Amino acid sequence: MPTREDSPRALAARLVPLLDLTSLGEDDTPGKIDAQCVRARGGVLPAAVCVYPEHVTTARRALAGTAVKIATVVNFPDGGSDAARVEREIRRALAAGADEIDAVLPWTAFCHGDIVAARAVADAARHACGAGHVLKLILETGELATPERIRAAAELGIESGADFLKTSTGKVKVNATPEAAIILLDAIAAHGGRCGFKCAGGIRRIEDAAAYLQLARERLGDAWITPARFRIGASALYDELIPLLA
């Protein structure tokens, strides 16, 4: 996919500040999270690290004094329909020191036509985050499956005030795809670009990341692509990019 970047190194330098360096392993330990954060401090900083709520305090301590945001996940990965529980999870995560919340839309309920339940969770997440914390709404586009449902979920997320539409949890069979990204980016563009976009799940190569970058550029312009509006959730991609900056 053609881009304006002149070299792999220049592209890597563009991409790393857009990354949410993610570690969502079921066996993650505080030591692993601390080591990942120490590594992130060593060069070009990512936009955020994304960890499970129990590791927020570790990440906050390890990244103290940097501009790297601490992101965590709620209602994850299943996407339940209990809006009150989602709000409680978010309040606890923010109290622990999270800056950004990646909350899963109740995609099963949405697929079954229960739009009210899906909207209640999205609204509760927005309310709990308030104006001071970033909300990324995970749509789980691979499970929504059809273009019509993906577009409808994107509209719901934008209307609810999400700061980002995120493709996937990375925990299902089909995660980020260019086809789903196009639908989300088109919806975002139709609403003036005020909502951001995050692709996540299976993005491991610089070529994959460049393709998503180009899709966003074509629809929203190069100036729109900043950490405030465009993120890539990945860990393997970080491992590929960092050697290019040496």
Say if CB 109 and CB 117 are below 8 A apart.
yes
Say if CB 205 and CB 234 are below 8 A apart.
no
Positions annotated as catalytic residues are: 102, 166, 198
The Cα–Cα gap between 136 and 31 comes to: 27
SS (H, E, C) 115-181: HHHHHHHHHHHHHHHCCCCEEEEECCHHHHCCHHHHHHHHHHHHHHCCCEEECCCCCCCCCCCHHHH
CA distances from 122 to 13, 18, 75, 159, 234 (A): 34, 24, 11, 9, 24
The Cα–Cα gap between 174 and 147 comes to: 14
Q: What token pair was written down for 224? A: 């729109």
